[in-house]
Amino acid sequence: MLDNFRRSTFRHGIHPEEHKDDTRDLAIRRFPFAPTLLVPLSQHLGKPAKVVVREGQEVSRGQTIAEADGFISVAMHAPASGVIRKIGRVPSISGDLVPGVYLEPYPASTQEVADGEPCRLETATPDDIISAIQRAGIVGLGGAAFPTHAKLKIPEGKSLDTVIINGVECEPYLTTDHRVMLEQTDDVFMGLRYLMKATGAGRGIIAVEANKLDAVETLRKACPADLPITVEVLQVKYPQGAEKMVIKALLDREIPSGGLPLDVHAICVNVATTAEIGRLLPHGQGIQERVVTIGGPGIVKKGNYRIPIGTPVRFALEQVGVTDDMTRVFLGGPMMGPAVSSLDVPLTKGTSGITAVTRAETGAHGERRIYPCIRCARCVDACPMYLNPSQMGILAKNECYTEMAEEFHLMDCFECGSCSFVCPSHIPLVQYFRLAKRMLRKTARPA
Amino acid sequence: MKLSRTLQIASSPHVSSGASVDHIMYHVVLALLPVVGFAVYAFGLAAALVIFTATASCVATEHFLNRLNRRETPVSDWSVTITGILYGLTLPPALPLWMVVIGGVFGVGIGKYLFGGLAYNAFNPALVGRAFLQAAFPQAMTHWSEAFSPGRFTDLPSSTLTIPMAEPVYDAVTSATPLAVMKFQNATTGVPELAFGLTSGSVGETCAALILAGGAYLALRNMLNWRIPVSILATVAGLSFLMNLIAPGEYASPVFMLFSGGLMLGAVFMATDMVASPITNAGCWLYGLLIGALVVVIRYWGGMPEGVMYAILLANAVSPHIDRLIQPTVFGTRPENGEKKDEQEGTA
C-alpha cells in the first residue's frame, strides 16, 4: 500500500475496479479464421490505404493487399490465404459503411506467413526503418491507431531524448499488453532497438503499472545490458496509459496544450506495437493479426487471443461463447470503448479488447436518475487535464459550445471519461463533450 | 448456430463509481445525528421539538411546492432534510414553534425553491431561514435558555408553545451566550465548557467536539471539502491571535473565538454547502479566508455578538465571483512548462 504511494504518477485520475484477474494469467491462444474476413482500408488515423488487389484474386497470408497513400497512412496485409471476394464497403464501429475488402480464407489456410524483404537492424538507416514500419502496416495498437512511423520522423528543429514504451494498460478488463510483455519479451526489446535506432534517442523507458509486477520482473531480467533502457513501475491509476499522462508520470513534463510528445523531447509507443515491430521487421512481414482480450461477465471462455484482423465480432463471440444475459458489447475497455451496435463489425488493428457485460453491470447504470450539478467538484478533482467538467457540462446543456472551447479548453479533453465515472449526479459529462466537439467541427467546416 | 442478440448501445464510460447525490446527502444526515443527539441531551424536550419542527416544516415546504407545480417531489434526495436539521440546530432552544415553522417555510421556499431547487440555491437555505427570523423576531432569536437545566426532559419552556402571532412569555431561567458575555461584560468562558458544549447557545452549536467528528467523517468519505473549515478556522485563529497580541484585554483569545458561538457548526456544516461554495480548491481557501475574516470583524467591531451567519451568507454571494476569478490551470498551459527540464537532460 505505502509502496504504491511512493511510486510516481500523474495528478488527479480515478481508480475504477480493475477486473483483470480473470484473464491476466491466461496465455495468448490462436484463433481460427472466420468464413469471411472484413478488412477496412482505414484502420488508422490518416488517409485510407490504396487497394492493390482485384476482386477474385487469390492472396496469401501476409501479402500486401493495400498500400499506404501518403505519409500519414499505412499498408494493409491479407490476414489469411484465400480469395478477394469483393472490394466495397464494410460495416464499422461508428455505424458508417467504410471502404474495405471482403476476404474468403481457404478452408485449409494455414497460419504460415510468407516472409518479405527483411529490414535488418544492423544495416538499416533510420529512414529504412521508418519506411519498413509503414510498409508493415504498424499503427498504435493501444487503441488510438495512429501510424507509428509518423511519430518517428523527427522534424527539423525538434529534438528527442527519450523513447517511452507504454505498458501501462490502465483500462479495466484488458490484459493484452500484460501478456505481450510476458510472452513476447524479446520482441519488445527488439522493437525498442529499432525505435531507438530510427529516432536516435538517448534512452528508452518501459512504463508498467504496479498491478503487473510479474511483467516488470520478466522485462528487467531480459533487459539487454548494451542498451540504455530502464523499466519503471508506476502507481495504478486511470487514465495513466494516455500519452500525456504517462509522460507526466515518468518525466514530469507537460505536453503543451495542442502539442505533441516531441515538444517535450519524447515519443511514446505502445508496448504491443513495439513487440510487433520487433517481431515483423526482421522478416519483412506485415500485421495480419493482433492480441485481443475477450473478457467481461458476459463471456464464457474469457482469455487473451491472437485474432486475425477483419474477424467479425460475431464470429469471435461465437468461438468463446456468451452468457444468456449478455446485453452490451464494447470494443476495448469500459472507460473508453465504443459500444457495438452490430455484431458484423470487424476487429481492426486498434481493437485491444472485446468486453461483454450483463444487465447486472449496466442495468442500473443506464437507468439512473440524473440530478442537477451540485458542484461537488469530484469531476474537477478527477480530470487529468485539469479542466472544469462541471462548468462545461452546464454550458453543453445550454449549447454554448463555442464558450466551452474558447474559455474552458474543451479541445484539450481526450475523453477519458473520468468525469462521468465519478459524477454523483450521473450527468453524462464526457458524452456531452463528445457531442460538443462534433457540433463545433460541423460549424467550423466551410459551407 | 448464428449468434444474435439485442444489444444495448451507450456512449462510454460503461462503468461508474456508484456515487450518487442522495447517497452523499444521506451521509451528511448521518454525520449530523450525533450533534442532534447532544442538542437534545443538553437542552431537553424543547430542543427536540425545535429540531423536529424545523425539519418537518422544511421537508413539507419542499414537498408541497413541488406538488403545487406538478413536479416530482425531490425530498427523497435527503438534501432538504439536511437543510431542516441544520436550520433547527441554529435556533435558540426556547424559540416558539410557530416562528420555527415560518423560518423553515421562508428558508426553503425563498432560499431554495425560488432559486430553482437543489443545486441552484445561491445561499445556504438553512441560513436564509435563520436570517429571516433574526430580522423578524430579534428578541426571540436572542433569548437563550440555560443548558442542562434540571427539568429539561419533563417541562417545556412556556415560550415554546406560544400561539402564533402572540408575544412569547419566557419563564425559564435565561442565560447569556459566552459571546454575549464577552461582548457586553467582557468576561471569558473556560475552554472545556466551550469545547464540550456546556454553555448556553443555539440548539446545536455548543458541542465543538461532535461537530468536528462529523466533519472529519464526511471529509474522509470525500463528501466535504476539508479546506473550507480549515481555512475558516485558521483565519479566525490567526486574526484573533494578532488582535489579542495587540490588545489582550479588549479582544478575545483565539481559543475562545474558535470554540464559541456558531463558528464550528457554520464552518463544518454550513459553509461547506457544495452548491454555494467555490468549485476549485484554491477558491475554497479564499472563500474560507473571507468567511473567517468577516466573522472576526463582526464579532470584534460589529453591533452583534455573533456574525457567523452573515459571514457565510455574504461569502455565498461572492462564491460565483471567486469561481470566475479562479479556474483550474489546464494541463500544458503553464508558460514555463517543459522548458525547465532542458538543461539537466542536455540533448542536442
Residues of A within 8 A of B16 (CB-CB) are: 365, 368, 420-423, 426
Nearest-Cα distance to chain A for B274, in Å, is 5
Span B7-62, pLDDT tens digits: 888 888 999 888 999 999 999 999 999 999 999 998 889 999 999 999 999 999 99
Q: Give the phi and the psi of residue A300 in degrees, each rounded to 5.
A: -85, -60
DSSP codes, B78-135:
SHHHHHHHHHHHTS-TT--HHHHHHHHHHHHIIIIITTTSTTT-SS-HHHHHHHHHHH
Integer Cα distance of A111 and B174 in angstroms: 94
- In angstroms, the separation between the Cα of residue A229 and the nearest Cα of chain B is 16
Region B143-152 average pLDDT: 80
Cα–Cα dist B55/B89, whole Å: 10
CB contact under 8 A, B2 and A314: yes
Question: Where exactly are the structural domains of chain B?
Answer: 23-175, 188-326
Taking contacts as CB-CB distances below 8 angstroms, the residues of chain A near B222 are 378
Domain boundaries, chain A: 2-24+121-283, 31-108+288-361, 378-444
Phi, psi of A401 (to 5 degrees): -65, -40
The answer to whether the Cβ–Cβ distance between A417 and B347 falls below 8 Å is no
Q: Average of pLDDT values for A308-328?
A: 93
- CA B89 remoteness from chain centre: 9
| Chain B residues touching residue A95 (CB < 8 angstroms) | none
Of the partner residues A254, A420, A421, the one whose CB lies closest to the CB of residue B332? A254
CATH of A2-24+121-283, one of 3.40.50.300, 3.40.50.11540, 3.40.1010.20, 3.40.720.10: 3.40.50.11540
pLDDT over threshold 90, residue B75: no
Interval A99-123: pLDDT, tens: 999 999 998 888 888 788 888 888 8
* A365 band by pLDDT with thresholds 50, 70 and 90: low
What does the pLDDT look like over B268-321, one tens digit per residue?
A: 999 999 999 999 999 999 999 999 999 999 988 887 778 899 999 999 999 999
Between chains, do A409 and B16 touch, taking CB under 8 Å as contact?
Answer: no
CA quadruple A347, A353, A356, A357: dihedral positive or negative?
negative
Q: What is the pLDDT of residue A81?
A: 93
Predicted pLDDT of residue A364: 60
Quick check: B17 and A428 CB within 8 A? no
Give contacts of B11 with chain A, Cβ < 8 Å.
338-339, 428, 430-431, 434
pLDDT class of B83 with cuts at 50, 70, 90: very high
Count of other CB atoms within 10 angstroms of residue A158: 11
CA nearest B116 in A: which residue? Answer: A372
pLDDT band for position B340 (50/70/90)? very low
> What SS3 state is found at A289?
strand
Find chain A residues with C-beta within 8 A of B331's C-beta. Answer: 244, 248, 254-255, 257, 384-386, 412
- Give mean pLDDT, residues B194-219: 83
Indicate the SS3 state at residue B340: helix
pLDDT digits (tens, 9 = 90+) for B231-278: 999 999 999 999 988 888 778 888 888 888 889 999 999 999 999 999
Contact A391 B330 (CB under 8 A): no
Cα dihedral across residues A439, A443, A444, A447: positive or negative = positive
DSSP code for A9: -
pLDDT of residue A232 exceeding 90: yes
B346 pLDDT band, cuts 50/70/90, is very low
Which residues in chain A have their CB less than 8 angstroms from residue B21's CB? 371, 374, 424-425
Q: Average the pLDDT over A323-343 and give the result.
A: 92
Q: What is the mean pLDDT of chain B?
A: 87
pLDDT for position A1: 47
- Of chain B, the percentage scoring pLDDT greater than 90 comes to 55
* B79 min Cα distance to partner chain A (Å): 11
> What is the per-residue pLDDT for A445?
66
Q: Chain B partners of A248 at a C-beta cutoff of 8 Å?
A: 331
Chain A: residue nearest B277 by CA? A375
φ/ψ bin of A200: left (φ > 0), alpha (ψ from -120 to 50), beta (otherwise): left
Q: Closest residue of A to B122, CA-based? A: A374
Residue A94: pLDDT band (50, 70, 90) is: confident
**Residue labelled with grid coordinates 511510486:** A7
Could you tell me which residue, A324 or B162, shows the higher pLDDT?
A324
Q: Which of A251, A337, A386 faces B331 most closely, judged by CB atoms? A: A386
Give the pLDDT score at B338. 46
A31-108+288-361, CATH topology level: Ubiquitin-like (UB roll) (3.10.20)
